Structure 1
C-alpha cells in the first residue's frame, strides 16, 4: 500500500483549481486510456487515477483539467458504452416486440465487454446515452399493460439483475453444489433445468402485453 505522501489526490473533491486544456491530451484520450485499462483488467477494482494517467502518459494532476474525479471518468465511460446500444434507431421498427428483443441482444453483447458490469455497478449512469436508452424503452412500452415507467424498471431490472448474478457465479456455485452434495431436501433445485434467458425475456414481454407483430 502506498504511503499517504504518495497517494493520489482526493478523487471525490478534486483539486482546488483547474488549469486550462493541454494540447497533448484530451478528454477523448483519457476515456480511451481508461477504457483500455478496464478492458485489460475487467473490473474497476484497484484501478487508481494514477494508473489512468500513466496510460495516457501524464501526471495524475493533469487529468483534473478534463475530469473532476476518477468517478467522473467511469461515469462518462459507462454512458459511452450505453450509447453503443444505439437504441434510438429501434423506435421506428414496425414491431415493438422485435425492437425490444433486438435491444436486449445488443445489451447482452455490451455486457460481454470486459468491465461493463463493473461500470454499471459502480454508480448510477445519468448521461445523455442513459437517458436516450430509457426514453427508447419507455416509448416502446407506451402501450404496455403497466405504466411505461414500470415497464422500463421491469426490463432494466431483469436484464441487470440476471447479468450480474450470472457474472458473479450464483448459478455456477449452485451447480457445483448440486454435483457434489445430496439435495434431497431441495428436489426442485436438484433437478432444475438450465436457465433460458430467451424464455424469460419472452415471458416478460407477454406479461407486459407486447406481442410480436409478425406472429399476429
Structure 2
C-alpha cells in the first residue's frame, strides 16, 4: 500500500514538472507578454487652392494640429530645378483655427503664367514656438499641397528662367569699372535700347529681355552702375 502511494506521488510530481516546463519557450525562458507601443497621433494639413486673379491665390487650409501654430504658405511654379532661381511667392502665417483662409499675392514677384504648387507647411523647428505643449512635441514636418494655374504676367516659365539667369550674370560679373563690351553684353542680356543718362556724359542701356539698365561712362568706356528695370540714373 505504501509503495502504491509513493508511486502515485511520483506520478503527480512528474506531471507538475512537465506542466511547468510547458510554459517555457524553446529557448528555455519564460514567455514575456509584449506591451503595446503607444500610438503617436498623426496630425494633418489639407489645402484647397483657388486663383482669384492673375497673381492672387486663396488657400483654404484645414488642420488637426493643436493650435495656434505658425506655418509657411507658398505658391511655387512646377518643374523647377534645384539650380533655378526660385519662381514663387510665400509668407509666414499663424493658424488660429482648424479651418482658415490664406491669401498669397504674387504680383510683387511678377510671377509668370503657369501651373503652380500651392503648399502649406508646418516646420517643427519654429512653427510651435508660441504654440501649445502638444504642438511642441511634434518632430516631423507636416505639409498639405494642391495645384493651381495662374495667368501671372503672361510671360512663360522659360522666358522668366532666361531673365533670371541674365540678371544673375550681371549681379555676379558686373560692377563699377567693368569694361563696356557691347557684343558681350548683348550675348548675355539680349538687345538693348540706348538713351542719355542723367549723369553727365553717360549713356543708359536698357535690356528689355533682362529688365535691367546698364549705365556706362562715354569717356571711360566702363560701367558706372546697373539698375533693375528701366532707369537713367
Q: Give the TM-score, by structure 1 length.
A: 0.27
Between Structure 1 and Structure 2, which shows a larger proportion of helix residues?
A: 1
Q: Give the TM-score, by structure 2 length.
A: 0.25
Pick the structure with greater CA Rg: 2
